[in-house]
Amino acid sequence: MAARQHQGWRPHLLRHHRDALGMTLEQTADAIRNLSGIGFRPPDATFQSIGRHERGEVYPGPRYRRSYCLVYERSESELGFRLSASAPRQPFGGPELDTTDFTRLGLTYTADADQLVSILSALWRADSKDPVSLAGIETDPRLWSAASRSWALHSSEDSRTRETLARMRDGRSQVGQSDVCALRTTARMFSDLDFCFGGGHARHLLIEFLNRDVAGLLHGTYSDVIGKQLFSAAAEATLIGAWMAYDTGRHGLAQRYFVQSLGLAEAAGDRLLAGEILGRMSHQATYTGRFRDAADLARSATIATSREANPTLTAEFFAMEARAHARHGDAASCDAALSAAERAFDRRKPDNDPAWAGYFDESEIAAEFAHCHRDLGRSDHAVKFAENALMTTDSQCPRSDFFVSMVRAQAYLDCDDPEPACATARAALEAGEQLKSARCVRYVADFRSRLVRFSGVRVVREFIDEVADRRLWRPAA
């Protein structure tokens, strides 16, 4: 594509962001080719083609532009791209939308049933037909606070004033209890796949299921009782879609799925699930560096479930708050939240927990403690809690085991002990070969950055040679 058609293009920003990450042209080409692990067909990148883009000789095509967004974790505008006036629109069914329209999909928070079905149908259809255009949309921090405030306001109203979810539509199929059960079972199957293989493994299949099957159910005919169960199940499935998008680095898309799943949970009157969604939103906010927003969302999750007083979820939400405080460097607030999490966890009765909350067990809370202590520089404590997490895991969540293993390896390095650090990381990289997760790659990259100061140590050099071809090590390079 001729560069002269894009007079607003600033190609030097590509070099700027590559340099900021310390990547060579060859490493960038490798990272782009490895994007196939997140369900996206990348171009067959070469260092020569990337150099031509950076020098402004050739304007990158759509797949190259989306690849740069994913590798550098920046939007197209941040990377200096400009669409030509003659650029074709990208239809995904229904009215054609240009690139700016994608950024507006799913931004509205509502618990109105008809609006929810309309918004989600458009979002699922777009994600199913053109996932590349949605991959690079940015998060909007205002959306987190606006959604949590709206939820808190509406959920405090008397439930008798809420809209009925009964829908009677001529010619539409009747939705029954068996349909809701099938939806929940299928959603939890996708959740298991996510835990085992990462969000990039089956995300496209989940979106097809949401776009075709779940949208069809929501447009069907159902009573108010079935409607509430259906919206709750749809919220759970949409939450899994949000988590998969988050895990693959599609943060703007994940945020929109989180917000819409919260609307579904509110419409269904499912306060526990609404709290879980707010807790997951807090997790993403911490990951993306919005620590104050993350702490506020975690507190909103605690408030959301206070009437039901579920100890497992209360412990989870306090742990999310603690993680936000730890990343922000607030040790006192972190310790207070960790103590509250521990007290709540001691009261838990797993048999009373929703099925989707079963993952938050002894191993998971120990892993949260390990993350917090690592971020606060308490390396010895981080090692201890990471070891506890790995000792109590049932190995049903390989991605979670990978995360805590890398935290343990990082903490060993912070303790100036590279030998067990490399041994731990080596085992994690070997066990994580099947994981397709941008978050896993980031954990590896964080470990690599800590490893630099030990580059002269023989065991470190040997480790780097041994893991050079591991799936998660290559893109982190």
**Neighbour count for residue 311 (Cβ, 10 Å):** 18
- Identify whether the C-beta of residue 415 lies closer than 8 Å to the C-beta of residue 383: yes
Q: Which of 54-58, 224-228, 270-274, 447-451 has the lowest mean pLDDT?
A: 54-58
Per mean pLDDT, which range of 141-145, 185-189, 233-237, 462-466 is the poorest? 141-145
Q: How far is CA 195 from CA 152, 189, 391, in A?
A: 30, 10, 18
Instruction: Please give the Cα distance from 442 to 162 (Å, whole number).
Output: 43
pLDDT at 466: 96
Distance of CA 74 to the CA centre of its chain: 16
Instruction: Give me the pLDDT at residue 160, please.
Output: 40
Q: Are 261 and 240 in contact (CB under 8 A)?
A: no
- For 218, half-sphere exposure in the C-beta direction (CA atoms, 13 angstrom radius) is 29
What is the b/e burial string over 9-44, where b = at least 16 CB atoms within 10 angstroms of the residue's CB?
A: bebebbbebbeeeebebebbbbbbbbbebbbbebbe
Output the pLDDT for position 338. Answer: 98
pLDDT in tens, 60-82: 888 888 888 877 767 777 788 86
The Cα–Cα gap between 77 and 81 comes to 6
Is pLDDT above 70 for 434?
yes
pLDDT of residue 84: 38
% of the chain at pLDDT higher than 70: 88
Better-scored residue on pLDDT, 294 or 38: 294
What are 376-430's pLDDT values in tens digits? Answer: 999 999 999 999 999 998 878 899 999 999 999 999 999 999 999 999 999 999 9
Q: What is the pLDDT of residue 106?
A: 87
Query: What pLDDT shows up at residue 101?
Result: 54
Distance from C-alpha of 237 to C-alpha of 214, rounded to nearest angstrom: 9
Q: Name residue 291's amino acid.
A: F
Residue of higher predicted confidence among 146 and 277: 277
pLDDT of residue 40: 61
First to last CA, the chain: 30
pLDDT digit string (tens) for 29-50? Answer: 888 887 765 456 788 888 889 9
Mean pLDDT of the chain: 87
Nearest to 74 by CA among 10, 3, 144: 10
Q: How confident is the model at residue 91 (pLDDT cuts 50, 70, 90)?
A: very low
Q: Residue 92's pLDDT band (boundaries 50, 70, 90)?
A: very low
Name, in order, each residue with C-beta under 8 angstroms of 2's C-beta and a sequence gap of 6 or more: 59
For residue 228, name the pLDDT band (cuts at 50, 70, 90): very high
Helix, strand or coil for residue 272? helix
